[in-house]
Amino acid sequence: MTDGELEDAARLAGVPDEFQRLWTPHRMAYIAAGPEVLREQCPFCAAPEKSDADGLIVARGRTAYVLLNLFPYNSGHLLVCPYRHIATYDQASPEEVAEIGELTQIGMRVLREVAGCDGFNLGMNQGAVAGAGVDAHLHQHIVPRWATDANFFPIIAKTKALPQLLGEVRESVASAWPRA
């Protein structure tokens, strides 16, 4: 292929089909590690040991902290986690429950400010059978939603468009988080 020349996709290896490819090489580290990595090192226990930027942490509280989801449903998808390694909400102390709630409220306010979202999906998946990807460490999802985000990509193309890089989102949310 010469400069300025595009290769015809029909001549590439493989059989053409109706699927679009969304290349996400950052997920390879997660896939290659396999499920054993979650047994060896909990990502929600490891994150607070890292710098905020490396751990994708936007705010730290006394008993819980807030970080970006590494595999977000939408840009700005936050997780609120207790520092303590517990699996379910009923194992959380009253202090942890209160701070998870407070950090969730602040996270919603900050996302409205920096991302202009119109609503949220909030939730906790308790156990692998309930859909928890990391079922051994409690975490609350805060997924920002916009009136205009209901496009055809996820339904028809099985693709999610994320317009910002995680580092950019972390910086904007962390910068707007109120200081104690």
Q: Which residues are marked as active site?
A: 139
73 CB contacts (<8 Å, ≥6 apart)?
Answer: 121, 143, 160
Q: Which amino acid is at 108?
A: M
Cα torsion through 160, 164, 170, 174, rounded to 10: -120
Report how far residue 63's alpha carbon sits from residue 83's, in angstroms, rounded to the nearest whole number.
6
157 CB contacts (<8 Å, ≥6 apart)?
Answer: 20
